[in-house]
Amino acid sequence: MAQVDIRRYARRSCRSASDAEKAAQEALIVLYRRIGTLREVGAISAWLLRIVNRFCLRLTLRLAGVRSAIQSLPEHYREVAVLRDLEELTTDEIAQRLDTTRETVKARLHRARALMREYLLDE
């Protein structure tokens, strides 16, 4: 049986290094859980590569869905969500930048996340 380098394959298949690490880890977890169901030992390499490939594809599709969910938000919600979740600003920093109160930022962020969750569940 040829040895397969799952991480190297994942780096070629996924969009980012962190996604590749997640995909390689997921493949090894699936291997551990389902090794007893494998009929042919020689098929392990191909099986692992399919798992990595599917996981990378799932991550890409999820990213596209999140991007669409963010774009679907009204501007005042999108602005707060991007500043908090992508730029990682604190509530106080966002309030200062937008010249609003902390309570307004927290309420908008809560509503933005609820709308994105709803959007993603409807997909």
Residue 5 has pLDDT above 90, yes or no: no
User: How much is the average pLDDT of 19-31?
Assistant: 90
d(CA 114, CA 106): 12
Q: Is the pTM of this model over 0.75?
A: no
Residue 2 pLDDT: 45
**40-50: average pLDDT:** 82
Q: Which residue has the tokens 């599917």?
A: 54
- For residues 77-103, give the mean pLDDT: 96
Structural domains of the chain, ranges and CATH numbers in brackets: 6-64 (no CATH), 73-122 (1.10.10.10)
* Alpha-carbon gap, residue 88 to 6, rounded angstroms: 32
Place of tokens 């991550």: 59
> Using 50, 70 and 90 to split pLDDT, how confident is the model at 98?
very high
- Cα distance between residue 115 and residue 123, in whole Å: 13
